[in-house]
Structure 1
Amino acid sequence: MPPRQIDGSRIRAVRRGRDLSQQQLGNMVGVSGPAVSRWENGQDFPKGEKLPAIAKALHTPLDDLFPHDGPPDLQLLRCDAGLSHAQAAEVINASLAPLGNAESGRRRLSDAYVKPLAKAYGVTEDELLAAQDRSFGVQVPSGGGQASGPRTIEEKINFLLQHGYVGQEAPSDEEIARAVNEHAGTAIVTVGDIVALRTGATTGASDAVRAGLAHALQVEPALFQDDAELGPEARQLLEAFRFIASIHRGQILGLAARGNSTGLSEKMMATIGDLVGELKHKLPDVPGGE
């Protein structure tokens, strides 16, 4: 079923109000009259990419005729652009697999596909990436923006350097390069390579380099795989880094010994304590830690 809500009786009522026969509507959107009849009787649904054409033929706003809940995912963007899987695949000169995998949350789109698809769908690249995150179950505000968690190698390195070393000095590029090479057992990166990854000048890395980065920054190797959506444990770990770092910087008020006068309840304080205790073994050593 398409990602929009389809009410066959609503299609029938609007069609009759426009004084169109089922065959006439079918001709306008490229289907048969019996196909329209099946839609109106609830025996079948029009393909998602047909909905914009139906709304246009009936002179009715798409969202009014076929409403949907929440911001769009990749499938909704494609369908609202009036493109089938095959037509969208032609845009990126690829098979159906990349689109199918991305829309079903199995494998993300190659970076090379983002710009042409965004243009074809009539959205910005950020909006397309936000829709892709939603296809993978990541909640992103309707205006796009950063997903809940870093996505690229550059974002992951900088996130971990910023949030993962509470009360400690984060490793330098030289230290990261040395740790990566030690993990690999041979010299596979230079300091310049690490700088290029950290600044986004280089966007790809071999599996050995990814594993070495995970070792150097004390996280699970899966975190550095581009095509793997972050699991709940990895996302929890990243949020714990961010949360504990914000406490350390004083951005979360009411936790100091002066009396918690800013509104955090005893229950919330206990929850925070439990969270820190549960995640302590996953975090880099912090002052006072075991």
Structure 2
Amino acid sequence: MPARHFDRSRLRTVRRAAEIYQAAVGEALGVSDSAVASWESGAQTPDPEKLPALARALGRDVDDLFPRSGPPDLTDLRCDAGYYQYETAALTGTRSAGPVAAAERGERRLKDKYVPALAAAYGVSEEELRRAEARSIAKAQGVQVDEPAASEAGNTSAPGAPPESLAEKITLLLDSSYPGPQGPPSDAEMASAVNAHAGAHVITEEDFRDLRTGVTGTASAEVLDALADVIGVSRMYFQPDDAVAAQVYEGLQMLAAAKKGSVGRMKARGLGSQGLSPTAMALINELVAEMEEKETDANE
């Protein structure tokens, strides 16, 4: 995932505006004032592990002073907590930082026994830690992951924009369908509900987590149908945007034909390679029949 953005000019401007000397910043971070000077000049860049402490020393929020253009992976969470990788051995009670290092590289998942301690040390929930882990794995595999929170890179949806990826759609549904402190069901609970509605074991807890976090970008029709039933939305909600657009386009053509008095030509057929679903066509045919009846009455 994208690292936090360090802007040396902004650092200098914020420090001067706060009337804080470089020496005071260095003392707060345990570095020399010359190190701070080198950061502001661009000769060096501070370690990402030091950015949270640097923001605190200047009385600013780390997300404000050093924004990140995407949701955090495991490395980001560790750096945001101010831990160097070698220090995680003490957190997991292992001889080395190997388990965390491997997970950050996306090579293997963390063992369950390491998760509570790391989540507590990083100041996040176990669920958030697992989501970050999924992003690290996805990054290693070159897979599209769940979408960044900001659009600094210019390739993300603007705030408030409709969700595009399957992960975005699932996340939006869960967040909006289960508000309040209780929050949405766990991945295990969602997988169990999907299987119950499907009448078969079609998805595991890990499979659902991968869908929700974007590690997996697609799912079978059986899984999506059951998921739509569980949450209470139309199956069309999970259709790719281009497929939905094709159906909307057909509907618009039908309406245009209706205005020209030629709705009969629309009856019982689709207009494109996608075609309308049988249910949608049945609804349109009912509407066409009603329009034709009204046209006949008007002409008599």
In the superposition, the TM-score normalised over structure 2's length comes to 0.53
Residue 136 of structure 1 aligns to a residue in which SS?
helix
**Over aligned residues, Cα RMSD in angstroms?**
4.3
Q: Distance in 2 between matches of 1:51 and 1:233?
A: 28
Counterpart residue number, 1:22: 22
Shift of 1:245: 4.5
Counterpart residue number, 1:50: 50
Relative to structure 1, the CA distance from residue 272 to residue 76 in structure 2 (aligned partners, 3 Å threshold; closer, same or farther) is farther
- Please tell me whether the aligned partners of residues 4 and 67 of structure 1 are also in contact (alpha carbons under 8 angstroms): yes
Q: Distance in 1 between matches of 2:215 and 2:59?
A: 48
Counterpart residue number, 2:6: 6
Shift of 1:218: 8.9
Q: Distance in 2 between matches of 1:107 and 1:51?
A: 27
Relative to structure 1, the CA distance from residue 30 to residue 146 in structure 2 (aligned partners, 3 Å threshold; closer, same or farther) is farther
User: Residue type of the partner of 2:28?
Assistant: M
Shift of 1:107: 1.5
Residue 127 of structure 1 aligns to a residue in which SS?
helix
Equivalences for residues 40-119 of structure 1 within 5 A = 40-94=40-94, 95-119=96-120
- Please tell me whether the aligned partners of residues 2 and 69 of structure 2 are also in contact (alpha carbons under 8 angstroms): no
- Please tell me whether the aligned partners of residues 119 and 129 of structure 2 are also in contact (alpha carbons under 8 angstroms): yes
In the superposition, the TM-score normalised over structure 1's length comes to 0.55
Shift of 1:21: 3.4
Relative to structure 1, the CA distance from residue 271 to residue 235 in structure 2 (aligned partners, 3 Å threshold; closer, same or farther) is farther
Shift of 1:120: 0.8
Shift of 1:92: 0.7
User: Residue type of the partner of 2:55?
Assistant: A
Residue 70 of structure 2 aligns to a residue in which SS?
coil
- Please tell me whether the aligned partners of residues 194 and 227 of structure 2 are also in contact (alpha carbons under 8 angstroms): no
Larger helix proportion, structure 1 or 2? 2
Q: Distance in 2 between matches of 1:272 and 1:234?
A: 27
Query: 40-49 vs 135-144, which deviates more?
Result: 135-144
Q: Distance in 2 between matches of 1:68 and 1:45?
A: 16
Deviations 1:86-131 (A, max 9, x none): 2223111122222122223221111111111111111221222222
Shift of 1:2: 7.9
Relative to structure 1, the CA distance from residue 267 to residue 38 in structure 2 (aligned partners, 3 Å threshold; closer, same or farther) is farther
Residue 236 of structure 1 aligns to a residue in which SS?
coil
Bigger Rg over Cα: 2
Equivalences for residues 138-287 of structure 1 within 5 A = 138-139=145-146, 141=171, 158=192, 161-162=195-196, 170=200, 236-238=218-220, 240-245=221-226, 252=234, 264-265=247-248, 270=274
